Structure 1
Amino acid sequence: MSGLTKQNIGSFLARQGILVAFALFMIGFTLANGRFLDPDNVMGVVRSSAILGVMALGVTFVVISGNLDLSVGSMMSFSTIVVLDLHDKIGPTLAIPAMFALTLCLGALIGFLVGYLKLNSLIVTLGMLSAIHGLTLTWSGGKNMDIADKEATWFGIFGQGEIIGIPVPILIFALLASVLGLILAKTPFGRKVYAVGGNGTAATFSGIRRARVVFSCYLMSSFCVATAGLIQASRSMGSQNTVGQGLELEVLAAVILGGASLLGGSGTIFKTVIGVLILGFIQNGLLLVGLQFYVQYVVTWVIIILAVWLDIAAKRGKLWSPIA
């Protein structure tokens, strides 16, 4: 009975350990600072997490399909700079679709290299991280971007507006999560994504066009990144050309925290949303207890290691490897 109990506890911690850790974090932060669960603070955390969350929704499809996307941070910088630059040149009505088109082209290129040429997704997206960063600097001439007349444009609605008292970034995040959640859980395409990530060879032999599915996942990811870039540009009405630098690790951490496996074949949009909120509240709590912002980088690293360990442990049903 003792052995069975230990095994059950180990299995539970392997699958739900991150939620237990999150609960302990929430209790600790609430005791340390009474403002932590203040409604205004909670709304602020969700709003500030919307950009990261929108990016994480697309990356969820990529990870479930058995691949990685480390280019999303640089791609977000690119989309933000492009839409700000084009705003003053051709107006927001044309700038927004032009930015989406250019960002989707980058996603299509990655999808082609990984899906059809079957190159390693880690190598491809790591290379694209640098390439897109260089493209962003080239587009901007190494300068930051600002909208010339911030008062005379409706562009700010995406990042600063509210509808019935709810910030527009939160509404965009919720709408995208709902639509993509339905696509992943209720459509044939969603089942194909799981099949490709679970066993790509078997999926191919069953008639699934694996390359097309992977290509579509990267297109979906780039669409979400472009949406995040739009929100970021609209919120600040200006941006540094490195605004997305480092976000790729936070996005990946949020997706893994939500239960998506790096091995592919598992994960849901709903759990990704939970992972995004976990990361957001932990970072907010660290600031409220007086820790400097750069401590977040260390905590994010610890969270990634913990999440990967729990992911692997969940696959084998034990926290520790049976091999010494």
Structure 2
Amino acid sequence: MADTASTTDAKRGGKDAPPREPILKLVAKQGILIAFVLFMIGFALANSRFLDPENIMGVIRSSAILGVMALGVTFVVISGNLDLSVGSMMSFSTIVVLDLHDKIGPALAIPAMFALTLCLGAFIGFLVGYLKLNSLIVTLGMLSAIHGLTLTWSGGQNMDIADKSGTWFSVFGQGEMLGIPVPILLFALLAATLGVVLARTPFGRKVYAVGGNGTAATFSGIRRARVVFLCYLVSAFCVACAGLIQASRSLGSQNTVGQGMELEVLAAVILGGASLLGGSGAIYKTVIGVLILGFIQNGLLLIGLQFYAQYVVTWIIIILAVWLDIGAKRGRFLSPIA
């Protein structure tokens, strides 16, 4: 019996186990907050302008579009799936609303764009949820398909609003309310609303259940396909909001404006602690992940590094985030096989 106990102790790490467990729990629960504070302190020490209120407001404003998209993808990832089509879908929604603005007016162009974008999200949700196709393959294919649809819609041309001075459409990207830019207000409103939906409603609990153990959720009476379908609708709605802000900010756009953003969005969601295995994550942590990416990019520029350095740093941060996530779940940071 003593030998068995000592063997079990050795497997669990022996005397090292007690100190390790609190660290793992702290990393699993508050790792993103710790990382955010450390990044802020580091960049503030490197450059005094980093904590300037104007700089902070500028970073949050520039991160709003990415953040709005990340809010929707958080639902998809927690449900145990991926969405790599959001970048192309954002390009599509931006081009559509700009094109329809001059043809039918902004009052009709905005709901028309939302309807078309939601149709794309519904189609993806149907393929992944009801037909049970692999979300990585489906959304990777839709990335190319939607890009082609955008080029077809625009005729391969960039899109601009004819009369930029005589439209109220600019309020979504350029306006301010109580001294706060409207994109930041929209980001905060969506984050608060979706945060409540995910954390305080039956639908939110179903999303966690489906992502944590889809089979058990099905046997519990949860309609798994419907939950996945609705998660992709939420993602598409957020993409449409991001497209609206993007189109309104410049009143014109390239037809590839969202190209590559799907990886930044996924990076923000992962940094926020949402597991790629599904079942864990939170909206407020995704917001922090978005801000970390935004402040990293800003901080690197302020300390004099070239803009392309941020791609390497972002890659390193994603690897660290995934490593910490897996380590926190299996109870050790190094693989027992190694």
For residue 15 of structure 1, report the CA deviation from its aligned partner: 5.0
Matched, 1:138 2:152: yes
Q: What residue ranges of structure 1 are gaps of 5+ in the alignment?
A: none
State the distance in 1 between where 2:314 and 2:176 align.
30
Which residue number corresponds to residue 138 of structure 2? 124
**Cα deviations by residue, 1:22-68 (Å, 9 ceiling, x for unpaired):** 33332221122111000000111111111111001100100010000
**1:1-324, aligned counterparts within 5 Å?**
4-13=18-27, 15-324=29-338
For residue 17 of structure 1, report the CA deviation from its aligned partner: 4.3
State the distance in 1 between where 2:244 and 2:69 align.
12
State the distance in 2 between where 1:15 and 1:100 align.
36
**Stretches of 4+ moved more than 6 A in 1?**
none
| Counterpart contact for 1:15–1:310, Cα < 8 Å | no
Q: What residue ranges of structure 2 are gaps of 5+ in the alignment?
A: 1-14
| Counterpart contact for 1:35–1:41, Cα < 8 Å | yes
**Cα deviations by residue, 1:130-168 (Å, 9 ceiling, x for unpaired):** 111111111111111111110010000000000111110
State the distance in 1 between where 2:88 and 2:154 align.
13
Larger Rg: 2
**TM-score w.r.t. structure 1 length?**
0.97
SS at match of 2:165: helix
**TM-score w.r.t. structure 2 length?**
0.93
For residue 16 of structure 1, report the CA deviation from its aligned partner: 4.2
Moved more, 20-29 or 39-48: 20-29
| Counterpart contact for 2:46–2:303, Cα < 8 Å | yes
Which residue number corresponds to residue 6 of structure 2? none
SS at match of 1:310: helix
Letter in 1 for 2:270: I
| Counterpart contact for 2:36–2:288, Cα < 8 Å | no
Identity of aligned residues (%): 85
State the distance in 1 between where 2:216 and 2:28 align.
28
Moved more, 292-301 or 160-169: 292-301
Which residue number corresponds to residue 8 of structure 2? none
For residue 2 of structure 1, report the CA deviation from its aligned partner: 5.2
RMSD between aligned alpha carbons?
A: 1.4
State the distance in 2 between where 1:195 and 1:127 align.
27
Would you say how many aligned residue pairs link Structure 1 and Structure 2? 324
State the distance in 1 between where 2:239 and 2:123 align.
15
SS at match of 2:194: helix
| Counterpart contact for 2:32–2:271, Cα < 8 Å | yes
| Counterpart contact for 1:75–1:129, Cα < 8 Å | yes
For residue 10 of structure 1, report the CA deviation from its aligned partner: 4.9
For residue 3 of structure 1, report the CA deviation from its aligned partner: 5.0
CA 1:117–1:232: 2 relative to 1, 3 Å: same
Letter in 2 for 1:207: G
Moved more, 288-297 or 236-245: 288-297
